[in-house]
Chain A
């Protein structure tokens, strides 16, 4: 049974190869997208490169990412690792002019994890009022909305966006979104009710409040643990010369407070507030993207402070193109230098017993060099230096190491 995901992965992968091999390439129409141009983060789903097969209404695309890395923690290394981190396949279809279907199926770690990350039907009533239903990615922060590997200069996803916020947290749900464009301004909003978190966020083997633990619950696409939906809302505003600011909020009851009509616990809430911002400095073309989030979880006072009731963290990426010209025959190839700064505090507060600060935090700096032969492909070299403290704030575990990876849309 453990091999099943691998077989599925191989089957889909090979059948894709086979199916492409049987199609006359002249029938394939590539719909290129400049995946690094300035649009709202919420547009990322619609702004993916895709391949149309003749006159079929379905577009297919995806991205793949793999890398080598060697990391060391306090002098101990697991050695060299080659990692097939992710293969995502997109399929979209214009069912009618104003009804669209979008989907993303992700195979992680060579098929160890397979997930329908996104599968929605979008119905446009008005540019400002679009109805979306299906499996949605809850739009908290910017990374959740705009996480495709080839868009980033770093092999690792931001720690705050994956280990504090649940990265690419998707749920069955429905809601509305809309956009408004004027001269230099863009506005967008999204509001959804969806599946929710569960008790695992404070009962898990990570030994800390860990919202991503809810992703391991396969039941969440058919049953909400608390019976109460999760609200997620985001408002984003962009000025073409200033940048985009996103404000997002998420709130829900995560615990099973009643069973068979019998109240078994208090209603316990989780709420998240996130701010994200991105801009390109016109003069230097420096691209800056950042996201910070604050989490509050109602943890029973009789439980353990091991599981914190507040978390805080974020990241900032600074990407500086240093060369943009024809390199080795690639037109408009770009060489970037970049740096990511990250901080996460999984347990904000003080110990009841001592009044001392609770640790469980991390900071990291990751300089990088990336080469983009096209805007849809990136080869990236990263060095990470990271310090992580345990709950007591003992001397940190220091991790450092390098990775060299490639990520590309196809």
Chain B
């Protein structure tokens, strides 16, 4: 009997271990609509594998040994796009040196991007005297593949440069010169040898490859076969990132799922959605776009809700920083996609840093900062009752 009792603690211990080992985690899994990462549906096994390789590449931290710098903004992709979401002011980019469509006048002085950090032993760049500049907070990664495959025809159909319909909203595309490595699709539309840009605050990047290659080179100082010139020395050097890795990153960006709207059945959210349309926010923040053909079949001919038209709009003098890219005017900005905006706090350190440079600290403040073509909608919002305003804000936050 005594012997049995002496075994009791061990028996209890092993029973405890046995029971608890059936379930090793007691933490709730985050809901799919609370996360920006994850893939679009319908990927094949090989596509999923490439997504994972891209995920690893996006998380790769560069050092001096692997090519970082010598001057840079961030040390990895994820440094600026935490959780695939909007970035923080810590990694805000500064671009300088272009005031009109004649091009950047400061390319030989470090333009267009300021590398504001430097490896020990080096000095970071300074904005040259006389150069105007603008700050850009990093955008979210999610859903970019859908935006990539909206056809040029659709973009031009939404554009209304002369405001023919008289609603106060025009919208135009940014005609840009594309780099040699970007291969336009057969349906790509050109004008005087220029193509339509769709990524970046000024829509000055043609596609996700263009955007990624620039980010490697200008944000981290990582050369690639696509962009072999080291921005610090201005010399062509061996690629510091493998081509397959760049391609994996582009694929990753293409197939990241679109943000999922939360509280879709909430009465106030739906009321806010109606008001959002009623005050013509949807004049620019289009609620529905459709992709054309995509070589990634799950992205082909899909209708989605990004709340953008990918067009440039006059946003008024208050948002005119005196800097631009491509054929955009200094006061023109591409309509940012609103999807995922409600999750921005989760990637911006619990705060909101909205508008192109993070100057708006809340969604309401961002609305108030709209000017130019958005004046009518802004005024309409300000004239709403407080409960209606709250409904609009709740709707936007649900995106």
Inter-chain CA distance A303–B74, complex, in Å, is 10
Say which residue of A75, A264, A392 sits within 8 Å of B90 (CB atoms): A392
Which B residues touch A328, using CB under 8 A?
A: 6-7, 10
Inter-chain contact B90/A353, CB cutoff 8 Å? yes
B123 close to A (CB within 8 Å): yes
Which B residues touch A205, using CB under 8 A?
A: 60-61, 63
Within 8 A of B (CB), among A268-313: 268, 300, 302-306
Inter-chain CA distance A324–B379, complex, in Å, is 77
Say which residue of B20, B89, B351 sits within 8 Å of A383 (CB atoms): B20
A351 close to B (CB within 8 Å): yes
Inter-chain contact B82/A394, CB cutoff 8 Å? yes
B17 close to A (CB within 8 Å): yes
Inter-chain contact B351/A398, CB cutoff 8 Å? no
Inter-chain CA distance A75–B174, complex, in Å, is 42
Inter-chain contact B6/A327, CB cutoff 8 Å? yes
Inter-chain contact B346/A395, CB cutoff 8 Å? yes
Inter-chain contact B124/A391, CB cutoff 8 Å? no
Kindly report which residue of chain A lies nearest to residue B7, judged by CB atoms: A328
Within 8 A of A (CB), among B58-79: 60-61, 63-65, 72, 74-76, 79
Per-residue CB contact flags for chain A residues 367-404 toward chain B (1 = under 8 Å, else 0) read: 00101000000000101010000111111001111101
Binding-face segment, A38-46, A119-127, A196-204, A221-229: A196-204
B397 close to A (CB within 8 Å): no
Which A residues touch B10, using CB under 8 A?
A: 327-328, 335, 371
Inter-chain contact B16/A325, CB cutoff 8 Å? no
Inter-chain contact B90/A305, CB cutoff 8 Å? yes
Kindly report which residue of chain B lies nearest to residue A200, judged by CB atoms: B63
Inter-chain contact A302/B117, CB cutoff 8 Å? yes
A207 close to B (CB within 8 Å): yes
- Decide: A302 near B123, CB < 8 A? Known: A207-B76, A402-B24: yes
A77 close to B (CB within 8 Å): yes
- Decide: A401 near B24, CB < 8 A? Known: A206-B61, A328-B6: yes
Which B residues touch A219, using CB under 8 A?
A: none
Which B residues touch A203, using CB under 8 A?
A: 63-65, 119-120
Chain A nearest CB, measured from B255 CB (Å): 18
Which A residues touch B75, using CB under 8 A?
A: 207, 304, 306
Inter-chain CA distance A385–B26, complex, in Å, is 9
Kindly report which residue of chain A lies nearest to residue B29, judged by CB atoms: A75
Inter-chain CA distance A207–B6, complex, in Å, is 51
Inter-chain contact B61/A351, CB cutoff 8 Å? no
Inter-chain contact A303/B29, CB cutoff 8 Å? no
Which A residues touch B30, using CB under 8 A?
A: 74-75
Kindly report which residue of chain A lies nearest to residue B60, judged by CB atoms: A205
Inter-chain contact B6/A325, CB cutoff 8 Å? yes
Per-residue CB contact flags for chain B residues 9-49 toward chain A (1 = under 8 Å, else 0) read: 11001001100110011111110000000000000000000
Chain A nearest CB, measured from B7 CB (Å): 6
Per-residue CB contact flags for chain B residues 118-161 toward chain A (1 = under 8 Å, else 0) read: 11111110000000000000000000000000000000000000
Per-residue CB contact flags for chain A residues 110-144 toward chain B (1 = under 8 Å, else 0) read: 00000000000000000000000000000000000
A contact face: mostly helix, strand, loop, or mixed:
loop
Inter-chain contact B13/A326, CB cutoff 8 Å? no
Chain A nearest CB, measured from B117 CB (Å): 5
A359 close to B (CB within 8 Å): yes
Inter-chain contact A72/B24, CB cutoff 8 Å? yes
A255 close to B (CB within 8 Å): yes
Inter-chain contact A353/B89, CB cutoff 8 Å? yes
Inter-chain CA distance A351–B349, complex, in Å, is 11
Which A residues touch B61, using CB under 8 A?
A: 204-207
B350 close to A (CB within 8 Å): yes
- Decide: A75 near B28, CB < 8 A? Known: A327-B7, A328-B10, A371-B10: yes
Inter-chain contact A70/B24, CB cutoff 8 Å? yes
Kindly report which residue of chain A lies nearest to residue B26, judged by CB atoms: A400
- Decide: A327 near B9, CB < 8 A? Known: A77-B25, A402-B20: yes
B347 close to A (CB within 8 Å): yes
Inter-chain contact A400/B25, CB cutoff 8 Å? yes
B348 close to A (CB within 8 Å): yes
Which B residues touch A34, using CB under 8 A?
A: none
Within 8 A of B (CB), among A176-218: 199, 202-207
- Decide: A402 near B123, CB < 8 A? Known: A335-B13, A393-B350: no
Per-residue CB contact flags for chain A residues 73-85 toward chain B (1 = under 8 Å, else 0) read: 0110100000000
Which B residues touch A394, using CB under 8 A?
A: 82-83, 346-350
B92 close to A (CB within 8 Å): yes
B88 close to A (CB within 8 Å): yes
Which B residues touch A206, using CB under 8 A?
A: 61
Which B residues touch A56, using CB under 8 A?
A: none
Kindly report which residue of chain B lies nearest to residue A359, judged by CB atoms: B349
Which A residues touch B118, using CB under 8 A?
A: 300, 302-303
Inter-chain contact A402/B119, CB cutoff 8 Å? no
Inter-chain contact B27/A75, CB cutoff 8 Å? yes
Say which residue of B25, B76, B349 sits within 8 Å of A72 (CB atoms): B25
Which A residues touch B347, using CB under 8 A?
A: 392, 394
- Decide: A204 near B63, CB < 8 A? Known: A304-B75, A305-B90, A356-B351: yes
Kindly report which residue of chain B lies nearest to residue A356, judged by CB atoms: B349
Inter-chain contact A303/B13, CB cutoff 8 Å? no
Inter-chain CA distance A50–B242, complex, in Å, is 52
Chain B nearest CB, measured from A401 CB (Å): 5
Say which residue of A264, A322, A325, A351 sits within 8 Å of B121 (CB atoms): A264
A23 close to B (CB within 8 Å): no
Which A residues touch B13, using CB under 8 A?
A: 335, 369, 371, 381
Which A residues touch B79, using CB under 8 A?
A: 207, 306
Chain B nearest CB, measured from A69 CB (Å): 9
Inter-chain CA distance A8–B311, complex, in Å, is 63
Inter-chain CA distance A335–B83, complex, in Å, is 43
Kindly report which residue of chain B lies nearest to residue A401, judged by CB atoms: B24
Kindly report which residue of chain A lies nearest to residue B64, judged by CB atoms: A203
Inter-chain CA distance A354–B79, complex, in Å, is 17
Chain B nearest CB, measured from A254 CB (Å): 10
Inter-chain contact A392/B25, CB cutoff 8 Å? no
Inter-chain contact A369/B16, CB cutoff 8 Å? yes
Kindly report which residue of chain A lies nearest to residue B2, judged by CB atoms: A326
21 A-B residue pairs with Cβ-Cβ distance under 8 Å, sorted by A, are A72-B27, A75-B28, A75-B30, A264-B121, A302-B118, A304-B75, A305-B90, A323-B9, A325-B6, A353-B89, A354-B90, A356-B349, A356-B351, A369-B13, A369-B16, A390-B82, A392-B349, A394-B346, A394-B348, A399-B27, A404-B21
In the A-B complex, list the 3 residue pairs whose CB atoms are closest, starting with the nearest. A75-B29, A392-B349, A72-B25
Beyond the given A203-B65, A395-B346, A400-B24, could you list 17 further A-B residue pairs with CB under 8 A, ordered by the A residue number? A75-B25, A75-B29, A199-B64, A199-B120, A205-B60, A205-B63, A207-B79, A268-B120, A302-B118, A306-B79, A327-B7, A327-B9, A356-B349, A381-B13, A392-B82, A394-B350, A404-B21
